[in-house]
Structure 1
Amino acid sequence: MQSTAINMEKIRKMPILIALLLSGFIGMFSETALNVALSVLMDALNITPTTAQWLTTAYLLTLGILVPISGLLLQRFTTRQLFIASLSFSIIGTALAAASPSFEFLLIARVVQAMGTALLLPLLFNTILVLIPAEKRGAAMGMIGLVIMVAPATGPTIAGLLIENLSWHWIFWLPLPFLVIALIFGMVYMQNITEVTKPAIDWFSILLSTVGFGGVVFGFSSAGEAQGWSNPKVLIAIAIGVVSLVLFVWRQLTMKQPLMDLRAFKYPMFVVGLLMIFICMMVILAAMLILPLYLQNGQNYSAFKAGLMLLPGGLINGLMSPLMGRLFDKFGPKWLVIPGLAIVAVSLWFFADINPASSVVFTIVLHSSLMIGVSMVFMPAQTNGINQLPLELYPHGTAIMNTLQQVAGAVGTALAISIMTAGSKSYLESVENPQDPVHLIPAFTQGVQHAFIFATALTIVGLVIAFFLKRVNVRHPQEGAMH
């Protein structure tokens, strides 16, 4: 083990972090840029909103299937191998998407893109945990937050601009050269920072994990379709997913070398952090999907104007991240997370009153407040949770957190879409002539308001859990030397 400690001194941290953060930025940009384009894609590819949602869902589904095995991949392959594989998938997927002639082709491209992101995210978090000592980790995670939050923030605005002046294909052509640059940069500077232990592969665990997480994500995502929750496909997929997950958990607990080490759940602050992230992710992704839809279809703004209105909030969130990281290092999580969740809840509560007459200022101020609140919760809860884990559980802890983030995203968007659909439907059932186009926007508005009420309720649950947060005192500050 001593050799790793000596090598740690020789590792050039900065180039490794730049390569990972640049790739992460482009990956996250692609993930949200498409949200603003959904309305345009529906017309261009002649698809319904439910079908269009699959472009986001398939992405999340792929992440939900691949991220759980990332703990195993981090132990079987070198940092360099994983980085090159991740960027190769991202480049191929982005190129295919840019050249897509049809919906089916674009869907396959999104899956390939997601394979790249699924390898990159755990690699990024694990690298930070290995390279950065615990007492400086808040600030480092803040930098990740800056990158990971500014990308989704600028995504919709740039996408809106590209759609108005060029075509939706340019959402994919634009990031392609940056991905190639990141790959070349990484090939020159990326070093191996973890030991390759080559644990045995348990194929049955991989199968259970794939069917389990895949079934749950697929089931919830299908709930946004026309038949909603009464669709047998939805209930069967969720049931199969849950049964597989129960078997997966049982198998992991009884194995010597589990695929995903669930001993991480013995650490209470890790569990509290996980619940915070889960709720936060559900709320963010639900709001990120519904708000652009409403701005374009309920208030008739262009894709570019909708993206522009969401830009200040996203930028504020990104810029707040490093500050929150430093405050976390100084004061711990509680004094950030509780006020943060209170701000999120109040912002969502006001959003539940959005209507066609709501002003641009109303939307920008509320969205910015929502994003400030989220920046106070996300990184502190995540870093505090991971800090409580012993070194050998880092790859598993990050795999668990990243997996549940994807599941939360799929569940959040699915519930939001189905609540929105149900709200619109109940409005149309209450009027005399539901066929009259005059009722369409009021019905859509009621659906969107119901979705925001649901998000508010979720945040209040998170706020109650936040009172159990305690600061973790890390007992292994000398990561490099000990490893």
Structure 2
Amino acid sequence: MSRPQLDSPAKSAAAASGRTPAVIRLLVLATFVVILNETIMINAIPRLMDALRITEQTAQWLSTAFMLTMAAVIPITGWFLQRVSTRSAYTTAMGLFLLGTALAAVAPSFAVLLGARIVQASGTAVMMPLLMTTLMQVVPEKDRGRVMGNVTLAISVAPAMGPAISGLILQLGSWRLLFAVVFPIAALITWGGLRRLKSVGEPQVSTIDWFSVVTAAAGFGGLVYGLSRFEGGDVRLAASIVVAGLIAIAVFVFRQLSLQKRGTPLMDLRTLRHRTYTVALILMSVSFMAMLGSMILLPLYIQNIRGLSALQTGLLMMPGGLAMGLLGPTVGRLFDKFGGRVLVIPGAIGIMLALAGFTQVSMTMPYWQVLGLHVLLMLSLAATFTPVFTLGLGALTPELYSHGSSILGTLQQVAAAFGTALVITVMSARADALKAEGVTAALANLGGMRLAFIIGAVLSVAVVITALLLPAKADNGGELVGAGH
């Protein structure tokens, strides 16, 4: 049904010139701005606490709500992307993002700012699967590693630049500037994109199952919300919300299995019958948990324990993000030439070594050592993510691409929330226990961070084990679980 999409003009142009198709370049640019915005708030939290007179727990909701919305909206994107044209999906994503950004810039209260972040996140939730699905449709298999490498360049440089850029903007003025600066850039990219963007593939008319929409939003949203409540909240209540979320997800899964028989699932779970895709999904989720955990712990360590400013923190963490991005295209070319294993296995080992190094943080650890470990972590993630995304999605048949990227995006958000909840809960519990023993606040917090990094290092062992299960090349939908391989 979707196979003719692969013979689109964009594909033959890409194949002929060996260049990244224009549609992908436009989508990468838009995705860069949207993702930059996800991490731009990290450094602004102390400023927001003063300006809006809110606690740190309340301020964290600006990040939690973003993840929550992504987790609730992304499951619907697989169905949405099959039903509308590329242009319509792009217009929806960037329209929501611009509306949220404008609202955030003028937000008179925390509640309005939170609402604005939710609107922004809805746009971001559509943008990521749109980019991945379109890439799989228009780029021939032999070039996918290279193009995915360039995509990784944009996607990984953006979160790395976020804290540094926000640190710089916050030196100039109010937190509102963060949104005021992003808005005209995003508006210009949207205008340029709409002028030049051509639709890829034919939209398919299908009905939506609203029961699936509700159970997906309640399940994935509830799970992410429950996990976020572990951070200094009522543990019993948090656990109850997590269990309720898991029950809703189980109902959602059974509903999809029954809808698959009629050919109208909201999220097509036949993707999970492809062994390579499932292994890639697990590897990506665990890597994301480890990465997000360290991305939250490091700024806390550098600012709260070592006393550096937001701008200095951003600058210290910037080389790692830039190194990750700049390595992206090289990783892509190596993947096209040698396959995934030669990159993913050393990458997984690098992640483990970097996180093991961070378990040794102290009051006097030299900054060059923090910088070196962070660069190692980011380079290892670069070597892992590009092949994992390409192998995972490449293992699917074309009609499953939009569902595959939607499941990937949903699990990313759940993994990010789980990683965040895990490190913050472990860190707080350990710090409180040490304070009760009479240890000073700074040393107690440091002890909490070290234990949280140990958890990350333990998780990374699972990344190494999973990496060993990945094949070298995508199996193009041929390798089904239980199909006797």
Q: After TM superposition, is the score higher than 0.5?
A: yes
Aligned residue for 1:480?
Answer: none
For residues 71 and 212 of structure 2, the distance between their equivalents in structure 1, rounded to whole angstroms, comes to 15
For residues 182 and 95 of structure 1, the distance between their equivalents in structure 2, rounded to whole angstroms, comes to 15
For the structure 1 residues 43 and 125, does the alpha-carbon distance in structure 2 shift closer, same or farther, using more than 3 Å as the test?
same
Normalising by structure 2, we get a TM-score of: 0.93
Aligned residue for 1:220?
Answer: 227
Could you tell me whether the CA contact under 8 Å between 1:220 and 1:238 is conserved in 2?
A: yes
The counterpart of 2:405, out of the listed 398, 405, 429, is: 398
The counterpart of 1:319, out of the listed 304, 311, 326, is: 326
Aligned residue for 1:481?
Answer: none
Q: Are 1:285 and 2:292 matched, yes or no?
A: yes
Matched AA of 1:236: S
For the structure 1 residues 445 and 474, does the alpha-carbon distance in structure 2 shift closer, same or farther, using more than 3 Å as the test?
same
Aligned residue for 1:442?
Answer: 443
The counterpart of 1:54, out of the listed 43, 56, 61, is: 61
Matched AA of 2:117: R
Aligned residue for 2:94?
Answer: 87
Aligned residue for 1:329?
Answer: 336
Alignment of 1:52-131 (within 5 A): 52-131=59-138
How many angstroms does 1:52 deviate by?
1.7
The counterpart of 1:294, out of the listed 285, 301, 318, is: 301
SS of the equivalent of 1:246 reads helix
Q: Are 1:152 and 2:186 matched, yes or no?
A: no
Q: Are 1:465 and 2:472 matched, yes or no?
A: no
How many angstroms does 1:226 deviate by?
3.6
Aligned residue for 1:245?
Answer: 249
Matched AA of 1:277: M
Matched AA of 1:450: L
SS of the equivalent of 1:175 reads helix
Deviations 1:335-377 (A, max 9, x none): 1111111111111111111122122211111100110111111
Report the more deviating stretch, 189-198 or 39-48.
39-48
Normalising by structure 1, we get a TM-score of: 0.93
For residues 160 and 181 of structure 2, the distance between their equivalents in structure 1, rounded to whole angstroms, comes to 16
For residues 308 and 458 of structure 2, the distance between their equivalents in structure 1, rounded to whole angstroms, comes to 28
For residues 304 and 136 of structure 2, the distance between their equivalents in structure 1, rounded to whole angstroms, comes to 43
Matched AA of 1:365: G
SS of the equivalent of 1:200 reads coil
Aligned residue for 2:483?
Answer: none
Aligned residue for 1:168?
Answer: 175
Could you tell me whether the CA contact under 8 Å between 2:89 and 2:126 is conserved in 1?
A: yes
Report the more deviating stretch, 97-106 or 73-82.
97-106
The counterpart of 1:385, out of the listed 392, 400, 404, is: 392
Stretches of structure 2 that go unaligned for 5 or more consecutive residues are 14-19, 479-485
Deviations 1:425-444 (A, max 9, x none): 1111111xx7xxxx111111
Could you tell me whether the CA contact under 8 Å between 1:269 and 1:472 is conserved in 2?
A: no
Matched AA of 2:44: A
Q: Are 1:340 and 2:347 matched, yes or no?
A: yes
Could you tell me whether the CA contact under 8 Å between 1:36 and 1:293 is conserved in 2?
A: no
Matched AA of 1:239: V
For residues 420 and 6 of structure 2, the distance between their equivalents in structure 1, rounded to whole angstroms, comes to 44
Aligned residue for 1:353?
Answer: 360
For residues 145 and 62 of structure 1, the distance between their equivalents in structure 2, rounded to whole angstroms, comes to 23
Could you tell me whether the CA contact under 8 Å between 1:276 and 1:378 is conserved in 2?
A: no
Stretches of structure 1 that go unaligned for 5 or more consecutive residues are 478-483
The counterpart of 1:260, out of the listed 263, 267, 289, is: 267
The counterpart of 1:409, out of the listed 409, 416, 419, is: 416
How many angstroms does 1:101 deviate by?
2.9
For residues 113 and 477 of structure 2, the distance between their equivalents in structure 1, rounded to whole angstroms, comes to 46
For residues 374 and 381 of structure 1, the distance between their equivalents in structure 2, rounded to whole angstroms, comes to 10
The count of corresponding residues between Structure 1 and Structure 2 is 468
Identity percentage over the alignment?
37
How many angstroms does 1:10 deviate by?
9.0
Could you tell me whether the CA contact under 8 Å between 1:84 and 1:186 is conserved in 2?
A: no
Could you tell me whether the CA contact under 8 Å between 2:276 and 2:474 is conserved in 1?
A: no
SS of the equivalent of 2:41 reads helix
Matched AA of 2:110: F
For residues 278 and 7 of structure 2, the distance between their equivalents in structure 1, rounded to whole angstroms, comes to 34
Deviations 1:181-229 (A, max 9, x none): 11111111111102111112111111111111011000001111343xx
How many angstroms does 1:391 deviate by?
1.0
SS of the equivalent of 1:194 reads coil
For the structure 1 residues 34 and 345, does the alpha-carbon distance in structure 2 shift closer, same or farther, using more than 3 Å as the test?
same
For residues 9 and 116 of structure 1, the distance between their equivalents in structure 2, rounded to whole angstroms, comes to 25
Moved beyond 6 Å, runs of 4+: 10-13
For residues 202 and 292 of structure 1, the distance between their equivalents in structure 2, rounded to whole angstroms, comes to 42
Could you tell me whether the CA contact under 8 Å between 2:68 and 2:225 is conserved in 1?
A: yes
For residues 33 and 10 of structure 2, the distance between their equivalents in structure 1, rounded to whole angstroms, comes to 30
